[in-house]
Amino acid sequence: NAGVMQNPRHLVRRRGQEARLRCSPMKGHSHVYWYRQLPEEGLKFMVYLQKENIIDESGMPKERFSAEFPKEGPSILRIQQVVRGDSAAYFCASSPPGPLNTEAFFGQGTRLTVV
């Protein structure tokens, strides 16, 4: 039973490039959450998605950031025109649908470095 899979684990981008972070939820899970973590800081909520729907994007910056969770395939967090301040660890978590939608299980994260 594979856990939440994130790739790539490490991503280096130059300022102005695009970063695409992928998250495959656990089998049977239809809810995905994205969080950002800076060194020595806690997890900051970005966006909460179900298949083909954005449930809550209140933590997502208004510009340059977008997320999707299509009917087929992984969830994608996309950062356009990256800046040095985007350097962080980005974690994805997933949870099952319905009444079991309580605990969320995390992937190992993607560490984005903008140079």
Partner 1 sequence: EDQVTQSPEALRLQEGESSSLNCSYTVSGLRGLFWYRQDPGKGPEFLFTLYSAGEEKEKERLKATLTKKESFLHITAPKPEDSATYLCAARPYGQNFVFGPGTRLSVLP
If binding is defined by CB under 8 A, does position 103 make contact with partner 1? yes
100 phi-psi bin (left φ>0, alpha ψ -120 to 50, beta other): alpha
Based on CB atoms, which residue is closest to partner 1, 49 or 82? 49
**Which positions from 19 through 58 interact with partner 1, judged by CB under 8 A?**
33, 35, 41-45, 48, 55-56
The SS3 of residue 53 is strand
If binding is defined by CB under 8 A, does position 87 make contact with partner 1? no
Please, which residues have CB within 8 angstroms of residue 65's CB and are 6 or more apart in sequence? 46, 77, 78, 79, 80
Minimum distance from CB of 16 to partner 1 (Å)? 27
Site of interaction with partner 1 (CB under 8 A): 4, 6, 33, 35, 41-45, 48, 55-56, 91, 93, 102-109
